[in-house]
């Protein structure tokens, strides 16, 4: 019996049961209270490897099963207790000017006018924020923020005729609170005339980008415990996507008429590539990759993430 299947089977049953009980309002489970225990997964995997190699072969499945059940029991107990400000994304913000931000949230708008440039680059840095891009604008860049905490800045430089926008959360001493992230929302609009390079960096939060109406040359997402959704268009002959995450949920949509190739280094991550064919070298391709005039190359790297790529 493969003991790793016991570990993952018990973890999936445990997680699914918690979600099911929550959906029926039978329990109140505080995920922020247990998130800091996520390294336990690596401990269980290590124990499984040691027992399988050096332990009693017949007893190993029972031992690792007992260890896993005991660990999940402790996590379940911890999850029924409120976080009390020590959770995964508990937030404290300090800056050089000792500015304080209202807990009720403040609305801020950023705008950069469009001067006809053909190439632009957008760098986004932030955390505990929901970033959404769903519409175009006549300006080069617009962002409307509803903030409960934190402060963003926007600056523009020109490098080799490329307009570079840096939109980032101001440096400071920070920790995050998952329960407050829903009050930090940023709506972004871009001009769809230039060819865009976009890079998003966040420790925790979510980014939902509908880029189907844009010409995107390169899209990079680097996240820790984050959620990333992107819908790509077919405005260029080649679009490159690079995703590197720790613990994240990643969903990417590509046009049905575009050829797409996926190179994935997923570690312990799950992957769902509907409509793709696995190649001899381990990559995944759509059936029209060799003949399609527009191509999308996707590179996925993740430790313990969920990757999904689908066509629309």
CA 94 to chain centre: 26
Look at residue 24 and tell me if it is in a domain.
yes
Beta bridge partners, 92, equal 175
Q: Which domain holds residue 44?
A: 3-79
Residues 115 and 257 occupy one common structural domain = yes
Contacts of 169 (CB under 8 A, 6+ apart): 125, 126, 127, 129, 150, 151, 152
Look at residue 287 and tell me if it is in a domain.
yes
Residues 54 and 158 occupy one common structural domain = no
Average pLDDT over residues 97-104: 37
Residues 241 and 168 occupy one common structural domain = yes
Residues 125 and 63 occupy one common structural domain = no
Residues 71 and 118 occupy one common structural domain = no
Residue 159 CB neighbour total at 10 angstroms: 9
| Burial (CB count within 10 angstroms: exposed 0-12, middle 13-18, buried 19+), residue 1 | exposed
Which of 101, 285, 79 lies closest to 183 in space, CA to CA?
A: 101
Render 171-217 in DSSP notation, one character per residue.
Answer: P-EEE--GGGGGG-EEEEEE-SSSEEEEEEEEEEEEEEEEETTSEEE
Residue 218 has pLDDT above 50, yes or no: yes
Q: Using CA atoms, how far apart are residues 153 and 223, in angstroms rounded to an integer?
A: 20
Of the listed ranges 24-38, 127-141, 192-206, the least confidently predicted one is 24-38
Residues 40 and 111 occupy one common structural domain = no
Look at residue 20 and tell me if it is in a domain.
yes
Residues 142 and 53 occupy one common structural domain = no
Which of 69, 98, 76 lies closest to 18 in space, CA to CA?
A: 76
Which of 308, 203, 182 lies closest to 245 in space, CA to CA?
A: 203
Helix ranges (DSSP H) in the chain: 3-23, 31-34, 40-54, 60-79
Which of 238, 129, 244, 235 lies closest to 188 in space, CA to CA?
A: 129
Which of 296, 173, 281, 292 lies closest to 243 in space, CA to CA?
A: 296
The structure tokens listed for 232 are: 């790509």
Q: Using CA atoms, how far apart are residues 208 and 229, in angstroms rounded to an integer?
A: 5
Q: Using CA atoms, how far apart are residues 252 and 250, in angstroms rounded to an integer?
A: 7
Measured over the CA atoms of residue 211, residue 212, residue 216 and residue 220, the dihedral's sign is: positive
Residues 30 and 147 occupy one common structural domain = no
Q: How many domains does the chain contain in total?
A: 2
Three-class secondary structure of residue 69 per DSSP: helix
Residues 66 and 10 occupy one common structural domain = yes
Residues 233 and 161 occupy one common structural domain = yes
Look at residue 85 and tell me if it is in a domain.
no
pLDDT of residue 186: 93
Whether the full predicted model's pTM is greater than 0.75, yes or no, is: no
Residues 201 and 288 occupy one common structural domain = yes
- Choose between 171 and 255: higher pLDDT: 255
Look at residue 213 and tell me if it is in a domain.
yes
The structure tokens listed for 166 are: 């840096």
Look at residue 292 and tell me if it is in a domain.
yes
pLDDT of residue 246: 83
Domain-terminating residue out of 62, 79, 96:
79
- Choose between 70 and 89: higher pLDDT: 70
Q: What does the pLDDT look like over 288-309, one tens digit per residue?
A: 999 999 999 999 998 778 899 9
Residue 18 has pLDDT above 90, yes or no: no
* Cα distances (angstroms) measured from residue 244 to each of 250, 254, 304: 10, 18, 11
Q: Using CA atoms, how far apart are residues 54 and 73, in angstroms rounded to an integer?
A: 26
Look at residue 247 and tell me if it is in a domain.
yes
Domain-terminating residue out of 79, 95, 119:
79
Q: Using CA atoms, how far apart are residues 103 and 213, in angstroms rounded to an integer?
A: 36
**Tokens 């209270």 sit at which residue?**
33
Residues 181 and 298 occupy one common structural domain = yes
Residue 175 has pLDDT above 50, yes or no: no
Look at residue 132 and tell me if it is in a domain.
yes
Contacts of 4 (CB under 8 A, 6+ apart): 45, 48
Q: What does the pLDDT look like over 108-163, one tens digit per residue?
A: 899 999 999 999 999 999 887 899 998 999 999 999 998 655 688 999 999 999 99
Domain-terminating residue out of 24, 44, 79:
79
């Amino acid at each position: 019996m493969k003991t790793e299947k016991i570990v993952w089977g018990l973890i999936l049953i445990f997680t699914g049961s918690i979600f099911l009980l929550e959906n029926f309002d039978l329990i109140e489970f505080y995920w922020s209270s247990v998130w800091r225990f996520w390294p336990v997964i690596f401990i269980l995997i290590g124990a499984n490897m040691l027992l399988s190699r050096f332990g009693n072969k017949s007893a190993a499945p029972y031992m690792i099963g007992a260890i896993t059940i005991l660990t999940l029991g402790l996590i379940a107990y911890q999850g029924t207790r409120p976080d009390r400000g020590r959770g995964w994304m508990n937030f404290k913000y300090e800056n050089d000017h000792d500015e304080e931000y209202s807990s009720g949230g403040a609305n801020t708008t950023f705008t950069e006018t469009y001067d006809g440039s053909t190439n632009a680059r957008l760098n986004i840095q932030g955390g505990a924020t929901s970033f959404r891009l769903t519409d175009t604008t006549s300006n080069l860049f617009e962002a409307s923020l509803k903030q409960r905490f934190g402060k963003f800045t926007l600056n523009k430089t020109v490098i080799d005729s490329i307009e570079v926008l840096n939109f980032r959360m101001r440096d400071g001493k920070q920790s995050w609170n998952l329960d407050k992230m829903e009050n930090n929302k940023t709506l972004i609009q871009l001009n769809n005339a230039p060819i865009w390079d976009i890079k998003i960096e966040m420790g925790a939060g979510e980014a939902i980008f509908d880029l189907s109406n844009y010409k995107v040359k390169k899209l990079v997402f680097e996240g820790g415990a984050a959620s990333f959704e992107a819908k790509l268009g077919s405005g260029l002959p080649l679009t490159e996507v690079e995703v590197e995450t720790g613990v994240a949920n990643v969903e990417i949509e590509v046009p049905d008429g575009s050829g797409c190739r996926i190179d994935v280094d997923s570690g312990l991550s799950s992957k769902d590539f509907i409509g793709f064919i696995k190649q001899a070298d381990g990559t995944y391709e759509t059936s029209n990759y060799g003949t399609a005039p527009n191509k999308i190359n996707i590179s996925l790297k993740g430790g313990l993430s969920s990757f999904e790529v689908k066509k629309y």
